Amino acid sequence: MDIVDIRTLADAAALQCVAGAWRSGRGGAETQVVDPASEALLARVPAASASDIGEALEAATAGFDAWRRRTPLERAGVLRRGAALLRARAGRIALLLTAEQGKPLAEAQREVEQAADTLEWHADEGRRVYGRVIGSRWPGTQFHTQPEPIGPVAAFTPWNFPLMLSAIKVGAALAAGCAVILKPADETPFAAAEMVHCLNDAGLPAGALQMLVGVAGEISSALIASEAIRKVSFTGSTAVGRLLAAQCGERLKPITLELGGHAPVVVCDDADIDAAVRSLAAIKFRNAGQICANPSRFFVQRAVAGRFIEAYAEAAREVRVGPGTDPRTTMGPLANRRRRDAVEALVADAREHGARLVCGGHRVGERGWYYAPTVLADVPDDAHVMREEPFGPVVPVAAFDTLDEAIARANALDVGLAAFGYTRSMARARRLGNELRAGAVGLNCVTLMQPETPFGGVRDSGFGRENGSEGLASYLSVRTVATAA
Ligand code: NAD
């Protein structure tokens, strides 16, 4: 593998932010950042050591003490200035994001914009954290509530939206008055580091926002075990979420978990098929399908299944697969080798189970983790791809006869993050909205996430909500004060 010089874009050595200063990790191990488009090694990042982690924990306590004393208005000002810096540096940050993650530059630019927007929304929402005065049962006594920041937070973010998903956690925690230690995914530390730079440059006190990169298990175990950390938030796989939840349970620490899903789509025979395919295809191939709320199991009523599949295949064939830096590209590579291999195995397994390959089903090019947009028809429910989230550009379609049957098959898995329904019937839409088991349901639309709206799953997709006032509330603890006159 060639070593590409990324020093013009980022200083790979100094990726640990501890107590307001950037420095190299002292752990001995290193994590590697690889360009998904070429498989070239972009950077070796020295991992955080136990003493780096210990210093960050100490600084988080001091940073929390300073940050919580700022007024909500001052905190909002810092977050807003951080968002403005993110926008001002968007060109460079988007390039970094595309280099480390593979997504097309236009999508990277959009992610920078969304991250800035998310920080701004939380800045404003933090100004609207109010307590309540509550009637008392005892004459002469009054009750009121005082929301308070919960304490220093450990935040773990994944590689699919390294910037936006970090902004959601960091924005909410800082707006609530908490300090944060952010551990971005090993594969994608650069864009997240840029956001930490922006917020620190905007005027955070030292230690209010820090970042550690290194061996994920070592960092998470040490942070969760520390008395200093009072809340944990993780976005990633169900397996890792389960592990971190067990560690938090041991210490009785609250954790927000946004884990994998496997979003079913129920397309009824009265739906506007062309409009459905247009919106579903646009979101499906965004970020090469690596979106937690991505439509990923397609149940289509038998009478319209053929038309739906043909229209989807046509949309899939129009996707231009290539490196994210090429302006003609509409879909980049998968973000890492294990995802490409997993997608490949799921497609092979589906075909072994009798699925019909309509388009795609192969790698693209000699180098880079490219996989062609793929449509599979007649996929049986026992094929792995119907039970395991592909997290890639794969569209497995199965036909159904009755709505009861479709809802039962859609609800057959233990995960429930997002679900979608397409119909022109009010009655069917109401049933799908009420009965599809998921934290978020899109009816005739695919957009489920915005800073204003709570987002999160049920069952194995995790618990707790991010974004919205519910997300901010998860970083607050409510003190009840009773006062006798
Ligand atoms: P994985 O389990 O290998 O890792 C998931 C993430 O967790 C990575 O970012 C990794 O750095 C981090 N991690 C791993 N061990 C950790 C630990 N002990 N402590 C803290 N962090 C740790 O999974 P993967 O191969 O990256 O993805 C597999 C599946 O996870 C996907 O198919 C998808 O279902 C899910 N996923 C979901 C999201 C999301 O946005 N909800 C993001 C990424 C992955």
Q: Which atom of ligand 1 is nearest to the CA of 186?
A: 11
Q: Is the CB of residue 235 below 6 angstroms from any atom belonging to ligand 1?
A: yes
The reported pLDDT for the residue numbered 2 is: 41
> DSSP for 320-347?
-B--TTSTT-SB---SSHHHHHHHHHHH
Q: Which atom of ligand 1 is nearest to the CA of 339?
A: 25
Average pLDDT for runs of 10 along the chain of length 485: 49 87 94 95 94 98 98 98 98 96 98 98 98 95 97 98 98 98 96 98 98 97 98 97 98 97 98 97 97 97 98 98 98 97 98 98 97 98 97 98 98 98 98 98 96 98 98 98 92
The reported pLDDT for the residue numbered 356 is: 98
* Residues 245, 272: Cα–Cα separation, whole Å: 42
Q: Is the CB of residue 185 below 6 angstroms from any atom belonging to ligand 1?
A: yes
Ligand 1, atom 24, lies closest to the CA of 237
Amino acid letter, 227: E
Look at strands 209-211 and 180-183 and give their pairing.
parallel
Ligand 1, atom 40, lies closest to the CA of 292
Q: What is 3-259+461-481's CATH number?
A: 3.40.605.10
Ligand 1 centroid, distance to 271 Cα (angstroms): 35
Q: Is the CB of residue 243 below 6 angstroms from any atom belonging to ligand 1?
A: yes
Candidates 201, 75, 167, 169; CA nearest to 126 is 75
Q: Is the CB of residue 389 below 6 angstroms from any atom belonging to ligand 1?
A: yes
Ligand 1 centroid, distance to 320 Cα (angstroms): 27
* Residues 291, 446: Cα–Cα separation, whole Å: 12
Ligand 1 centroid, distance to 461 Cα (angstroms): 12
Look at strands 458-459 and 415-416 and give their pairing.
antiparallel
Ligand 1, atom 18, lies closest to the CA of 217
Burial, 203: exposed, middle or buried (Cβ in 10 Å; 0-12, 13-18, 19+)? Answer: middle
Helix (H, G, I), strand (E, B) or coil at 294: coil
The reported pLDDT for the residue numbered 362 is: 98
Catalytic residue among 55, 125, 258, 389: 258
Helix (H, G, I), strand (E, B) or coil at 116: helix
To the query of whether residue 292 is one of the catalytic residues in this protein, the response is yes
* Ranges of each domain in the chain: 3-259+461-481, 263-450
| Phi-psi group of 187: left, alpha or beta (phi > 0 → left; psi -120 to 50 → alpha; rest → beta) | alpha
Output the six-digit token pair for 355: 């699925």
* Residues 219, 311: Cα–Cα separation, whole Å: 47
Ligand 1 centroid, distance to 308 Cα (angstroms): 32
Q: Is the CB of residue 239 below 6 angstroms from any atom belonging to ligand 1?
A: yes
* Residues 353, 383: Cα–Cα separation, whole Å: 6
Q: Which atom of ligand 1 is nearest to the CA of 159?
A: 9
Output the six-digit token pair for 34: 């690889």
* Residues 308, 314: Cα–Cα separation, whole Å: 10
The reported pLDDT for the residue numbered 176 is: 98
Q: Exposure string (b/e) for 406-430, b if CB count within 10 Å is 16 or more?
A: bbebbeebebbbbbbbbbeeeebbe
Q: Is the CB of residue 439 below 6 angstroms from any atom belonging to ligand 1?
A: no
CATH class of 263-450: alpha beta
Candidates 155, 159, 160, 194; CA nearest to 178 is 155
In contact, 187 and 161? CB cutoff 8 Å: no
Ligand 1 centroid, distance to 384 Cα (angstroms): 19
Give the position of tokens 């520390």: 226
Q: Is the CB of residue 240 below 6 angstroms from any atom belonging to ligand 1?
A: yes
In contact, 163 and 118? CB cutoff 8 Å: no
